[in-house]
Every structure is written in C-alpha cells, then in structure tokens.
A and B are shown apart, each in its own frame.
Chain A
Amino acid sequence: MLRAILRTGSFLLMASMLYTGCTTQATGRFYGKTEAPKNNVLRYISGSEPESLDPPVATGQPEARVMMALYDALVEYHPKTMDPMPAIAESWEIGAGGTEYVFYLRKNATFSNGDPITAHDFVYSFRRAVSPELAALNGYLGFYIKYAEPYNAGEMFVRDRDGRFLLKSDVEEKAASPADVPVADMGYPTEFHKYIDSPDRLTVPRSEKARNELFAGNAKLKAAVEGKELVPIKGEDIGLEAIDNYTFRIKLKQPAPYFIGLLGHQLFRVVHRPTIEKFGKAWTKPENIVTSGAFLLKEHRPYDRVVTVKNPNYWDAEMVRLNGIEFYPLDEATTMMNLYKAGSADAIYNHTVPAAWNDVIRQYKDEYLNHPEVAIEYYTINVKKPPMNNVKVRQAFALAIDREALAKFRKTTTPLVDFTPEGIFPKYEQARTKVYTEELKKKGMTMEQWKARAFDPAKARQLLTEAGFPVQQNGTSFAAPSFPISDVELLYNTAESNKAIAEFIQAQWKQNLGITVPLKNMEWKTFLTYRKKLEYSGVARAGWVGDYMDPFSFLYLFYGEKNDSSTGWFDPKYDRMLDEANRELDEMKRFEKLALAEFMMIQEQPVVPLQTQATNWIKKPYVKGLYPNPGTLHAWKFVYIEPDPNKWDRDVDNIMKVSDPWVDQHIARLMTTQETFNAQKKA
C-alpha cells in the first residue's frame, strides 16, 4: 500500500516537473545557455555512432554528416538546396545521351598527407565502392556505372573461340540499350572508351547453379553460351576511366539525369589508396587515417565523440573558418535536448525535437528550424490480399483521412496527397500541375477536385459501398458491418510517434468509414521483414528519404517486379514510363513524363500518402552557414561561429531567404568554374 502511494507520489512529482519543464513560456530570447564557443569549435550532435569511418562502408545519414567533414568528393551539396556544386571537380559535362560524364579536376587538391588527388584516385575509390570484396551495403548506388552491377555480383563475360565477346543483342530480341538515342561524341577517344562505348556485352552468373537456372528458361541463351569461355568481370572493366591525371570519365549503363546529384554521397567520396593497402581494415584508426576533406580526424571515441580539426592542406582551406568540429554520436532525444539547453552542444541533427517539447521549442524563433524535407511518411497497402486487393477499397481508405488535421496534430509536417514530397522539387511540381490538369480534363475533372483527395469522406464511403461493403449511417456515426475487419490491420514499428499517428488514423477511419482497424506494433527489424515479405494484411507504416534531389528517387520505389514498395504492386507499363522519362534530356519534358507515371501509380493507390516530413531540429543563433536543407546534409566549410550577437541568425523561418554575404560570396566563387565552363562551351 505504502509502496503504491509512494509510486503514485513519485509519478505525480515527475509529471509536475516535466510539466513545468515543458510548458513554460519562452522566458529568455534563447533556449538555455547561449554563448558562442570561444575556441571556434562547433559541437554537433550527429545521431547514432558511425558504423565506420570508411566512406563507402558507412551507410546512413548520421555517418554521411561525419564523412562530409572528413572526405571531399567530385561535387559537394549546395548548403541550401543540396544541388551539386563544384568541389574537387572544377567543372563537368554530360554527354552521349546522358550516359557519359566527364569531370575536370582541380590541380591543387591534396589528401591530408599532401599527396595530390588525381583522376586515378577517383577510379580507385569508385571501383572499390562497388567491388564484391568490400560488400558495401550502399554499393547499389553505383550500379548506374556500366558493368558495375555484374562486377559486384561476380558475373562473367562470355568469349567465343575467336576472342569475340558475346553481346546482349546476340541473345535478346532487342537490346534495351541507350544506343537507340542519337548521341554526340564527347571527344577523348581512348582504347578504353572504344571498349566501354561499344554495345553491351552479355554477362552471366558466376555460379554454375545460377547459370543453369537462367538457362532453363532460355534455350537461346543456353545454346549461345555453351562451350564458350567465361571471363570474370574485373574492376578494370567497369565504366570508369582516368583520361589523364585531371580528367575523369564515367560511363553509365543507361541515362540517369540524377546521377550527378548522387556524387556527393559518401559512397563516392575519395579515399587514399596507399593507406588502405598498407593498413587494411585498420586504415580508419586515427593514427593511420588519411582523408581528403576540409577537416582531419583527431580523435575517435566510439559512442562519445569524433573530434575533427581544420585541415591546413585542404585545397579550399582559406575559406574554412571553424577550427574544428566535435561530433557527438547520440540518439537519445531527451539527452541531446538537455545538452543543447545546458549549452554543451551547438546544433542537433534532424527530427530530434520530441513532440512533447515542440510547443516550447518552436517559440524560439531564432533557433528552431522546421523546413520541408526530402522525406515522406505514408502507409503501404498489401494489394495482394483481400479486401485491399480492390482498388476502390484502397482509395476509400486513402480518402477517409483528414490530412490537414493530421498535420496540425503532428505540428511539424505538411499534408501529402501524391507520392513525391511537397515543396521540395518546385520545377517538378510545376510540370506535375500541368500534366495532372491535362489528364484530369480527359476524365472531366479539375485540379481542385483532385486536391480534394486530401480529405473526402463522402467519396470514401461511396467507394467503399461500390466495392461491396455498404456504409450505413446511424445518426452522426457510420458503420460498415459487412467489411471483413478481421482481414485488415494497421502495422507500425514500435515508437511513440508512430503509435500516435496510427491511433489518429484509426480514429479517422472509425469516424469516417465506421471501420475500426486493429493496431499492431513490432520491433524494427521484425517489422521490416514482416512488411517486406507482405505477411501483413491491410496497411503498414512506411517512410522514405530521397537518396538524391530528384523525384525519381521516390518513384523508383515502385519500379520492377521485386520493387521496394512493400505493397506487392507492380506494373510493367509504369516501368516503361519511367525508363522513357529518364531517356529524356530536356529537364521539364522529363519531369512531365515522370509526373504522368506518378499520376498513373497514385490512382492505383498502392499506398496511402500521409505527410511530407520536416527538418525539425535546432541550432544556436551564433552558428551560421548551417541551413535546414532538404536532407540535413551540411557542407561544413560554409559553417562558422559568429561571436558578435548583432550578427546572429534571427527568425530562422526565413533563413533560406535571408542572404549571408559571406556564404553567398563563397557559393558564387565556387560556382564560377562550372559557369565559365558552360559559357565557353556555349560560345
């Protein structure tokens, strides 16, 4: 009894303290202790402990942030827009129907030990990133490079007795080759280029078992390959070439206009070959490591800190203003907020302000950054199981959610009706509006009617009735007694925020359709397997973050029969539409084709789009040049600490519009090389 009383008492004590902690008005102008660090070192909370300091091995966003300080790339993300900006590549050109990229490297770039960075280093780094020996999880990002995928899979070329390699076109009716597009030669004729630019060679699996499986379904292929010599694909065979020390060429297997936007990813950051070959796995230890970025690794204490200092040998060292960055690998939201408030951290990564704190934190207008993000949240639908195999049922569930109310409830997000995030790709959205208006006209609909999809309960009930599950009205409430409720569930991975959203949606469906969908939660890895194998019935929570700044990064989710959508939805027509779009060289025309594909897919409603995520993080006002860009990936050389309070950031809702002369001047300076190059080419 006494124990129970004490327990209740302690709970009340805690609740009251949390209450006072969370609901007080913003008393000072700033949240907690706000003093610019005198040593000019930024203290940044970067998320979970990096898996590795070897860039292609490290998979996630928390790693990306650390890698961006330590390693440089051909291009760097623009601090505000994340568009590619010249880094080690001064300029580049894209040709051969979007399948060839030539990069012109600056001659003064060096590794941290003083060795020059040349095109050969990029050839080495990229080959290593997609090599089967490294087995990098992110290796697939490099699969656009010609023969990188079969190289990674350990596949073989097929050579006949005369030394001629078999081509894809020898065994296929019509090779799906970009050679259909008339291409202009980019110059630099080399032996290697002659080889890599020739029609696609045939590749077959290395293991006999896999080969036999393949042959079993393809007699023509079997006949063509039998008795021929199999030649393993080597790193030297993939579409990477150092034309000279400072000219680097990439050949892609198909046009991929977004590929340039991927090259800032850590998979493509340049590493130092002699160090890796000398130390093997231990090369990333602070005593061995050689890096290429604006900062050097000084100390790494796992789960506690990654300490970096300014690299005096960095090619753009003159611009770097911070003396160093200390990354704190933490992922406990409350702990990081505490550190921030106590003045022990200057900035935190994205999605970190807990929902319960949001009302307090958002009052700090000079610190709280909530901007649209290249990330969405949605529910997948298992289209393979009834009743969700009926498109009308799927549409009914999608229409019966008040997305405005959801956004208000979540406080940080914005409603999402289509699949690509809102407010991130303005040019694409423009193209999409055009395409949708035309397509809707054919159906006798207007854009306004389309936008009503954000919440249209009457239509939802009508669709559900049409699907054979009549919705009855009893006073103000609804009921759908014939709906097989035991065949659906709402699955989510265990987390407070996911639960809150699930309960909200459950209530919406109850209120608007009269259906109470049972909730079910699972631990992350268990959930992933369950969802991926389509073992769930009904709907499951999902989120997606774009790998690069292009709508294709989202639309690709439904591409191919074994796609990543976890819905079971697949349509070869959709795949063809995307392929065709990517072959289009004109940006706006390409976007229109992509939009057409999106329009087709979303009408099939394999997913229930919910919201575009927002950045939701905080930084101290004296930290400048750190912007809430759509991926929360920061080019650290633009970041500095401003000791003068008069120059601190104010009202950061407008931070993207307000000019910081120093940042802008350096962006302009870095862009010059590429702009001059383009201008000269035009002339």
Chain B
Amino acid sequence: MLSFALRRLLIIIPMALLVVSVTWVLIRLAPGNFYEGEKTLPPAIEENIRKKYGLDKPWYQQYFLMLSNVVRGDFGDSLKYQGETVNDIIKRHLPYSATIGALAYLVALIVGLSAGIIAALRQNSSFDYGSMATAMLGLSVPNFVLGPIFVLVFALGLYWLPPARWGGISNLILPVLTLAAIYMAYLARLTRAGMLEVMRSDYIRTARAKGLSETDVLLKHGIRGGIIPVVSFTGPALAGLLAGTVVVERVFAIPGLGNIFIQAVLNRDEPLILGIVAFLSILIMIFNLIVDISYGYLDPRIRYE
C-alpha cells in the first residue's frame, strides 16, 4: 500500500513536467504575444521588452530555463501584471476559488447523497421520481444560465442578495448554489445508482440474514459500497472546483483562479499560464491518488500491491 502511494507520488513530478512542456509548446504555437496590441511597437521598444524577458535567447535555452525554474517551483514574474510573481498570484487567488468550491461541494454532498440514498431506498416512489427529475434539470441547465437566473430573481427582483463581487457571507450564497447545482445532481444520481446495485448484492442479503437491523445494514455495509462511484467522481471534481470555475467566477465577479487563468490565456501571459497549469495538474493527480487509496478502505475487495 505504502509503496503504491510512493510510486504514484513520484510519478506526479515527471507527469507535471510533461504537462508543462506540452503547454509551453502550445503557447509558443499560438499566434500573438503578451506585449502586442493594436499599435505596432517601435522596434526599439519591442527589442527592450524581448531582452527584459529573455525572449531574445534561442528557444531551447528558453525552454530549459523555464523547465529548471519549474523544477525549483519558481515560475517567475507575470508578464502582464508587472512586479507580481506567479506564485504570489496563485497564493492570493486560490483561497477565493477554494472557498466557493469547497462550500459548493459540501452543499452538493449533503443534498446529493441524502437525496440519492433516500431515492434508492424508496425506489419508484414519488420522492424518487421527483428528486431524479430535479437532478436531471440540474444537469441540463448549465451554470451560465442558472447563475443569471438566480441573480435576476434574488438580487435584482427581490433585492435579497448582492448580485456579484466578493464580500460577506451574503455574497457567497448565489455563486455557491449555482456551482453546487450540477454536482448535487450528479451526486444524487450516482449515489442512487450505486446504492441500488449494492442493496441487491449478496453481502447485503447476508447482512440481513445475520439479523442486523436495517439501519446497521445501510450504514455499515450499504453506504460504504454504494458511494464508491461518488468517491471516484469526487477526486477530479473537487480538484477542479477548488482551483476555480471560470463561468461562475466571471458571472459573479469573484477574483478566483479560474478568472485569472482565462485572462492569462487571453493575455498570453506565459509564466502565469504555466504556473496555473502545473498547479492544477498536480492538484488533480494528488486528488486522484487520494481517491484510489480511499477505495481500499471503502471496499475490502480492492487491494493494491
């Protein structure tokens, strides 16, 4: 088990470097650069800028310089936001995204899991149909539609909540709900499907045959097996959520990482793009590892050699 985790951890480094390298090539292939605008720069100014950022060196030197910086965890300064290091920017904006993302996932877990379990236990009841239809609606309405509808109703119609921006708890409600909706729906459906399958399996029958109370059957055996699909979904989902979601951050003007990432790409801000990509890829790999390890605890049949 330990060696499995160690091996996986070690793979993260070359994987991240590979991701960064591919991204670097893609950025270089994309037309345009960070300093070019509508006005053509006088050659003198362009040369000064290229010199200042080391763009006058041959490409392989630039690549290895970039790679060695990345290995040391130093992505350098943002090209667009002068005097700011990429690490500072990520450190500063991650908490906004992480707060919204974690809260959204918490809400989604509570509502989605309960709805899924209840629906599975009362299969074909009106609750089952009702909750699954709502979940389908949640899945079908994209958040760039849901967000504005929430704003229209709660901020501009009823004036209950602020329409956008970071601030107090009231500012969190709409973005968290918007973000949670789709995950809530996914989780409810996954849980229901997982639970239905598990509750029909042989070991549940054995548990019942042993004379365990229905609550014990459900809590000790049913849920543990039933939420395995939920756990596999959680890894990448949580990584993505914590690292920022572009649409919700833009609609609600939240200064999170997703917003910054999009701006970085549009600005061709190479160090910032690389920094966020590397951070995201490592985050996703770590979450996947955690998920894989947790399988072993949830289902004794899964073991790693």
Contacts and interface: CB of A to CB of B under 8 A. Distances in A.
Contact of A525 (B36, B48, B152): B36
A53 to B, nearest CB: 9
A342 B255 contact: no
Interface in B250-268: 250-253, 255, 259-260, 263, 266, 268
B80 A525 contact: no
Interface stretch (B7-15, B27-35, B208-216, B234-242): B27-35
Contact of B250 (A3, A335, A339, A542): A335
Interface in B3-52: 30-33, 35-45, 47-49, 51-52
B44 A526 contact: no
A188 interface: no
Interface in A253-312: 281-282, 284, 301-304
A10 interface: yes
B25 to A, nearest CB: 16
Given A14-B145, A140-B42, A303-B93, A339 B164 contact: yes
Contacts of A542: 38
B45 A528 contact: no
A140 B41 contact: yes
A564 interface: yes
Interface stretch (A147-155, A446-454, A615-623): A147-155
Interface stretch (B133-141, B188-196, B199-207, B280-288): B133-141
A679 interface: no
A139 interface: yes
Interface string B154-165: 011001001111
A218 interface: no
Contacts of B93: 302-303
B220 interface: no
A18 B3 CA distance: 56
B149 interface: yes
A57 B31 CA distance: 24
Given A302-B81, A303-B93, A528-B37, A154 B32 contact: no
Given A137-B37, A525-B30, A532-B40, A51 B163 contact: no
Given A54-B83, A341-B163, A303 B259 contact: yes
A168 B51 CA distance: 28
B122 interface: no
Contacts of B140: 3, 6-7, 10
Interface centre among B31, B43, B136 (most CB of A within 10 A): B31
Interface residues of A, number: 63
Interface of A: 2-3, 6-7, 10-11, 13-14, 17-18, 21, 32-33, 48-49, 51-52, 54, 57, 59, 132-133, 135-137, 139-140, 143, 149-150, 152-154, 281-282, 284, 301-304, 328, 330, 332, 334-335, 338-339, 341-342, 344, 523-526, 528-530, 532, 542-544, 562, 564
Interface of B: 30-33, 35-45, 47-49, 51-52, 80-84, 89, 92-93, 136-137, 139-141, 145, 148-149, 151-152, 155-156, 159, 162-166, 250-253, 255, 259-260, 263, 266, 268
21 contacts: A11-B145, A48-B263, A136-B45, A137-B37, A137-B41, A137-B45, A139-B48, A149-B44, A152-B42, A302-B81, A302-B92, A330-B164, A332-B253, A338-B163, A339-B163, A342-B162, A344-B163, A525-B30, A526-B31, A532-B36, A543-B38
